Amino acid sequence: MFQQIDVRGGGSLGTHPLDNPVWAALDGPHAVFAERREMGAPPAEGRGRVGRAARYPADVYAFAALADPADPAAWADLHALLGPATTVRLKGVDDVPEGWVVVGSGQGVQLIDTRLRAEPAPEAVRLGPEDVPEILDLVARTRPGPFLPRTVRLGTYLGIRHRGRLIAMAGERLHLPGWREISAVCTDPQHRGRGLGTRLVRAVAAGIRERGETPFLHAAAHNARAIRLYESIGFTLRRRTTILQVRTPGTDAVAGAL
């Protein structure tokens, strides 16, 4: 079932932006959201476009990232940014330094668009900050994955309404150079089986393609039904991913260069 592919058409995996997507977004197109430690500033105050670690604001996306998970200085920067005894999620990290605690973990897969038929959905409407209460209600009923009060600001979100009520949605989350992630794909249980999610994925992908970028997405590794659906409409499994929920050491002291 699983096929790992190299999207560059040559070379080895490990240096492509998709291999470290949260960092590639925060250090690139999503830098406007990035919280990063400013060199020379006290750890509790540090923010800026420097440092080897970054995170999204807590009400936007509950993930942080390291430029290189093998670099002790990146872990030191992340600790300085977050502070002591703080919990955050990381993608693509298998091991943590001494003093850090793994409090949860999960496995996912990353899929990329290789033959998706992207097309607008005339019935879809653009969702914005004013729609967040309805969005969060739909998310609570369908559990597509993390969605926070300001997640909607990360990109274009589209929805379908029935008698005025939001019943399905999909949108853009991570934005990397040349790539955009499709996320929050969900449909109210009473309206499933009508292809609403697929139509929204195609419509979001059409907007991504119009900007000269390529869609990709993530799914839980155990969600075989969703993976089969994404494969059937034109996505290809690229690689497995690890998600860790970690807690920083409980003191301000960190190892490595600050």
Q: Helix 196-210 to helix 224-233 angle, to the nearest 10 degrees?
A: 50
Confirm if 127 and 135 have CB atoms less than 8 A apart: yes
**Global pTM?**
0.88
Residue 14, pLDDT score: 59
pLDDT digits (tens, 9 = 90+) for 27-72: 999 999 999 986 544 444 334 456 899 999 999 999 999 999 999 9
C-alpha distances (whole Å) from 2 to each of 10, 136, 192 are 19, 32, 27
**3-25 pLDDT, tens per residue?**
444 444 333 345 899 999 999 99
How distant, in Å, are the alpha carbons of 21, 64, 142, 160, 201 from that of 150? 19, 16, 18, 20, 21
The low-confidence residues of the chain, meaning pLDDT below 50, are 1-13, 40-48, 253-258
What are the b/e assignments for 224-249, b being 16+ CB within 10 Å? eebbebbeebbbbbbbebebbbbbbb
